[in-house]
Structures are given as structure tokens and as C-alpha cells.
Amino acid sequence: MLTLGIPGDTVTAILLGGFMIHGIQPGPLFFAENRDIVNVVFIAFFVAIFLVLLFQLFAMRFFTRVLMVPKEYLFPAILVLCFIGAFATNSSSFDIGVMLFFGVIGYILLRSGFPIAPLILGFILGPLLETYLRRALMSTGEVTDFFTRPFSAIFILLGIACAVYTLVNEIRSKRSKQAPSVGM
């Protein structure tokens, strides 16, 4: 994530978003331009591993008791902490409204079966895509260069082929689930 600027999962996507909010751009030049931040990240990583080990050794028996807390108490406590966290960021009630709005959208997407991780990745990688697209278009300003140059055309065709392959497999699996099985 630090060297390429591409998150591998949801946790690293959130970490990458935190870096970008603070104006830190992970990528190929990250290690050369931000050595102090890289050192702090690695030191914090090793300290966190040690502290988690100690914490797990002494508190493991109490973690199982959290599972016994009724949902009627646990969910309101989590909701209150979310409100406090959203308000504490900028001391603004607008942030609470944004949290509620996107929470409702996230709930609707989750109930509809949409995965949330690609949305987070799109949020993180979207500005990078815009920046590098602008940079690529600065030389000639022609979008057709992406299709007429052999190297980029190959990658575009591979992307389209992967999307079509995934779509065809999805359609086949849905048809096989809907088709009645013929028994003897």
C-alpha cells in the first residue's frame, strides 16, 4: 500500500484515505519524500504488535464476554460512539448529518447485496485516476490515444475481456441455479 498507493483490503483503504486527508500521497516516491513518516509507521507497527500480544495474553478471557452482551445494549452504544466521533472531528453537526446520510446509503447497499469494499477502493483510487488521466492527456489532449496505441489498447481489451468473462460466468451460474434438475 505504501509503495504503490493501492490498498489491498478495506483496512488499508481506510489507512490510505487517512493519509490522503492529511496531504500525504503514498506511491512510488513515498519512501524518498517522507522518510520520517515511513519510520514512524514501521516503529508504530512493531510497537503495536508487541502491545497486542501482551493485551491478548492477559485479556483474552474477557473478550468472549463481549459476545454475551445483548444487542439491545451493544448497538446503541456503538451508535453513540459513532455520533461522538463524527462530531468530534470538526465540532460540526453537519458531519453528523453526513454520517447519517452515508450510513443510510451504506445500509441500503448492504441490504441490496452490493459489496462495500469496491466503493471504498473507488473513493481512494478515484483522485489518483483523475490525476494520472490529466497527466496522460497533457501531451496530446486526445482520448483516442488510449485506443490507438498498442500497449494501452491491449490493456483496455484485457479489461473488457475480464469483465465479459465475469459477466458470462455470473449469468451461467444463475441459470444453472434456476434450471430444474432432472432426476431419474
- What are the tens digits of pLDDT across the range 41-85? 889 989 999 999 998 888 888 887 877 888 898 889 999 999 998
**pLDDT for the residue numbered 179:** 67
Give the residue among 175, 178, 177, 155 at the shortest CA–CA distance from 167.
Answer: 175
**pLDDT for the residue numbered 115:** 80
> How far is the C-alpha of 3 from the C-alpha of 147, rounded, in Å?
29
**pLDDT for the residue numbered 44:** 92
**pLDDT for the residue numbered 168:** 93
Which tens digit of pLDDT belongs to each residue from 160-176?
Answer: 999 999 999 989 988 88
**pLDDT for the residue numbered 181:** 58
Give the residue among 46, 10, 41, 47 at the shortest CA–CA distance from 24.
Answer: 41
The answer to whether the beta carbons of residues 106 and 82 sit under 8 Å apart is no
Average pLDDT, the chain: 84
Count other C-beta atoms under 10 Å from residue 19's C-beta.
Answer: 20
Indicate whether this model's pTM tops 0.85: no
